[in-house]
Amino acid sequence: VAVLQIEAKKAELQLKELEVRRLMPDRGDGPWYEYLLLRQLLSLLQKQLPKINHSFF
C-alpha cells in the first residue's frame, strides 16, 4: 500500500512540475526571463514589418 501511495505522489509531483514549467516563461521565472521566446520574437517582428521597406521582395 505504501508503494502505491509513493507512486501516486510521484505522479502528482510530475504533473505539478509540468504545469510549473509551462507557466515559467509566461510569468518571467527561470532562465527564460532573459531570452526571447519564439512567440515573443514573432510578435516583435510583426510590429516591425510595416516599418520595413518591402521593395526588395
Number of other CB atoms surrounding residue 1 within 10 Å: 5
pTM of the model: 0.47
Q: What is the pLDDT of residues 1-27, one digit of tens each?
A: 899 999 999 999 999 999 988 887 777
Q: What is the pLDDT of residues 18-54, one digit of tens each?
A: 998 888 777 767 665 666 677 777 777 777 776 655 5
Q: What residue ranges do the domains of the chain occupy?
A: 2-56
Q: Are 24 and 30 in contact (CB under 8 A)?
A: yes
| Alpha carbons 36 and 25: distance in angstroms, whole number | 9
Q: Provide the 3-class DSSP secondary structure of residue 21.
A: helix
